[in-house]
């Protein structure tokens, strides 16, 4: 099974890149499914239903989210209507939406899980007990299981990788918007990268206009963030997973800069 992961899509710039580049990437890697993190896709924070539909129309199969999942308030009205749009699973119940989905492609069932870290982020339910509970539910239903771990701390992400090793096919980090150079296959066969990066402005600070961020850091006063312009980028990950064993057999990250 060939899977394409797209790093955090940021604002209109990121959405435009998906529209322009995703078809070519899917063709290049001959992928079976595409997963994209879209928690920053609408105005830099959150996701509107209109934009969610655009992602699906442009070839994204599954959308994952993160700590900005509720920033566009109307998401509570539509998130339950989409089986392939998931939010972090470790929000307390009752909560709109769901934290995982089982997607079927070519007769193969793929479990996709979204969990938030809690170091320097919202104080949600423990991510480690959350993954245990979900795996107890779905491990018998699908051999291939993918985890988008949306976290701030690299230590927490690496710990989740080792904690899940051999129980899931792939653990990849999102949220920090900077692709890390540590892609690997862990000892028990789980593919891993600490952060897959972002899709959107290249000439900015995590997608935001660099001058605004510098002003904010110097003054320590609130400023209105605006998405950067200029050179763009698409960051992602390509993995191959054995359909019988569920183990990762190949993993490769990419960054494409678009001028």
Q: What is the reported pLDDT for 195?
A: 98
* Kind plus residue range of the DSSP H or E element containing 252: strand 248-258
Residue list for the binding site for Fe cation = 8, 39-40, 67, 150, 175, 177
Secondary structure class of 148 (helix, strand, coil): strand
52 phi and psi angles, rounded to 5 deg: -60, -45
Helices (H), 172-224: 210-219
Active-site entry in 6, 62, 68, 235: 68
Would you say residue 7 has pLDDT above 90? yes
Structural domains in the chain, CATH included, are: 2-202+231-258 (3.60.21.10)
Residue list for the binding site = 8, 39-40, 67, 150, 175, 177
pLDDT, one tens digit per residue, over 32-65 is 999 999 999 999 999 999 999 999 999 999 999 9
85 phi and psi angles, rounded to 5 deg: -120, 115
Q: What is the reported pLDDT for 138?
A: 98
Angle between helices 154-164 and 127-138 (to 10 degrees): 30
Would you say residue 218 has pLDDT above 90? yes
Confidence of residue 259 (pLDDT cuts 50, 70, 90): confident
68 in catalytic set: yes
Q: What is the reported pLDDT for 99?
A: 98
């Amino acid at each position: 099974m060939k899977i394409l992961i797209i790093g955090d899509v940021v604002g209109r710039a990121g959405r435009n890149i998906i529209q322009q580049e995703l078809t070519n990437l899917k063709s290049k890697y001959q992928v079976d499914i595409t997963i994209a993190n879209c928690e920053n896709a609408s105005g830099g924070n959150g996701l509107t239903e209109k934009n969610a539909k655009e992602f699906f129309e442009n070839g994204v199969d599954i959308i994952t989210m993160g700590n900005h999942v509720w920033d566009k308030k109307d998401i509570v009205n539509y998130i339950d209507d989409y089986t392939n749009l998931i939010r972090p699973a470790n929000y307390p119940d009752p909560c709109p939406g769901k934290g995982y989905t089982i997607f079927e492609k070519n007769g193969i069932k793929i479990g996709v899980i979204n969990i938030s870290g809690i170091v320097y982020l919202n104080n949600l339910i423990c991510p480690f007990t959350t993954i245990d509970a979900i795996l107890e539910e779905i491990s018998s239903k699908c051999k291939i299981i993918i985890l988008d771990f949306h976290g701030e701390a690299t230590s927490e992400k690496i710990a989740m990788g080792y904690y899940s090793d051999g129980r899931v096919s792939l653990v990849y980090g999102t949220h920090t918007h900077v692709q890390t150079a540590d892609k690997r296959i862990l000892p028990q066969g789980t593919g891993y990268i600490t952060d897959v990066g972002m899709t959107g402005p290249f000439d900015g600070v995590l997608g935001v206009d660099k001058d605004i961020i510098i002003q904010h850091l110097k003054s320590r006063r609130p400023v209105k963030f605006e998405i950067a312009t200029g050179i763009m980028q698409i960051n992602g990950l390509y993995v191959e997973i054995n359909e019988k064993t569920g183990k990762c057999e190949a993993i490769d990250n990419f960054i494409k800069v678009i001028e």
